[in-house]
Amino acid sequence: MENIVKVETKNSRNKRKIIVDKIIHLLLFFLVAICASIIIVSVIFILIKGIQPFVDNYGADGEFVNQSLSSFFTNSTWTYDGNGGAMFFFFFSIYVVALSLIISVPTSIFTALFIAKISPRGIKDVIRTAIDLLAAIPSVIFGLFGKGIINPFVYNIAETLGIQTFAGSSILSGALIIAVMSIPTMTTLSISAINAVDQSLINGSLALGASTAQTNMKIIIRSAKSGIFAGIILGIGRALGEATAIQMVIGNSANGLNFYNIFSPGSTIASAMLSGINEASGFGYDIRFSLGILLMAVIVVTNLILNAIKNYNRDKDGPVRKIIKKIGGLIKNGKEKQEN
């Protein structure tokens, strides 16, 4: 009788566990469905609003205007009369991010290496806490910092070199503020990647006579390159989508002909969307969603390219490497045919 009672108790507990598991699975599925729905609805809304300026007529000053598709991709000046061009925003965005990476990537990697493998424990905790706090600072605070510190710094450099600048508001200022904002994300992921390196590889390198510096550079960083590259990808994603801080320091130029001069004002896709949005209405408001479509496309394509590069470096027989080898073979065969 006691055995029967024990079996029934065990069965009831198992049933209770199954019910609890089902409830948790349904709850998790519900939360995932909500998150996915928000993303899908947001993308659809942006697409609909972004396409409207190209197909609808908007009343402005007694005339009807809509955005010219050809001008959108070819004009080097941004206007709100239907003939504005936005492609130079794309080049500005890539240019500013590329300049920021020159500063942020080596700074993040060597900071992560110092924290993970070199610094004493007391200093390590202090620096790690500072980086975490830096990642939590709102964008507008970075913007104020850039306005009060970085812009005067750039202005003084330009004045020393005899170059005219717009009170320091420039492409260089935008790149510097983006670099500062990207460093915490890149550093945090780089630390995790470096800490995940197998200790036996480090011990083996030291046992073979390599110095600590050689081991750090040739073993640790190389072994952690996949995680480090993932951090760089996330940092680039944040840099491309940043609007508030960069809009406060870059100068918001509506002309794309001066991007070669880092001391001249510029504008990224995100900063152009934010600039003057409080006064925008009608066509001037909806065309910002068109810029949003361009920004989403840039971020998606950039992430795909960077992930392809990461997979190429990681997988010896991966699909990307096979495609590149195939293209190289076709080019080689074409050259041999031409020579024959």
Write down the pLDDT at residue 179: 92
pTM tops 0.85, yes or no:
no
Write down the pLDDT at residue 141: 92
| pLDDT of residue 251 exceeding 90 | no
Angle at 188 between CA 187 and CA 193, to 5 degrees: 90
Average pLDDT for residues 173-202, to the nearest whole number?
90
| pLDDT of residue 317 exceeding 80 | no
Query: What are the structure tokens assigned to 87, written together?
Result: 């492609």
Three-state DSSP at 83 gives: coil
Tallying the residues shown for the chain, one arrives at: 340
**Distances, alpha carbon 317 to alpha carbons 64, 214, 250, in Å:** 57, 29, 43
Query: What are the structure tokens assigned to 25, written together?
Result: 């699975």
Q: Which residue has the higher pLDDT, 14 or 211?
A: 211
Q: Which residues pair with 251 in a beta bridge?
A: 266
Query: Do 53 and 72 contact (CB within 8 A), yes or no?
Result: no
Where do the DSSP E strands lie in 74-204?
A: none
Average pLDDT for residues 69-89, to the nearest whole number?
82
Query: Do 290 and 72 contact (CB within 8 A), yes or no?
Result: yes
Average pLDDT for residues 169-181, to the nearest whole number?
91
Lowest average pLDDT, out of 78-82, 139-143, 178-182, goes to 78-82
Where do the DSSP E strands lie in 182-274?
A: none
β-strand pairing of 63-65 with 58-60: antiparallel
Write down the pLDDT at residue 98: 92
Average pLDDT for residues 75-79, to the nearest whole number?
81
Confidence of residue 41 (pLDDT cuts 50, 70, 90): very high
| pLDDT of residue 3 exceeding 70 | no
Average pLDDT for residues 38-48, to the nearest whole number?
91
Query: What are the structure tokens assigned to 27, written together?
Result: 């709850």
**What span, in angstroms and rounded, lies between the C-alpha atoms of 267 and 172?**
11
Confidence of residue 28 (pLDDT cuts 50, 70, 90): very high
Write down the pLDDT at residue 333: 64
Sign of CA dihedral 13, 17, 20, 22: negative
Confidence of residue 120 (pLDDT cuts 50, 70, 90): confident
Query: What are the structure tokens assigned to 294, written together?
Result: 């361009």
Write down the pLDDT at residue 2: 53
| pLDDT of residue 121 exceeding 70 | yes
**What span, in angstroms and rounded, lies between the C-alpha atoms of 80 and 291?**
13
Helix (H) or strand (E) holding 338: helix 319-339
Where do the DSSP E strands lie in the chain?
A: 58-60, 63-65
Write down the pLDDT at residue 36: 92
| pLDDT of residue 314 exceeding 90 | no
| pLDDT of residue 210 exceeding 90 | no
Average pLDDT for residues 129-135, to the nearest whole number?
87
**Distances, alpha carbon 80 to alpha carbons 84, 139, 200, 235, 252, in Å:** 6, 27, 62, 32, 15
Residue in the structure block whose two tokens are 């198992």? 14
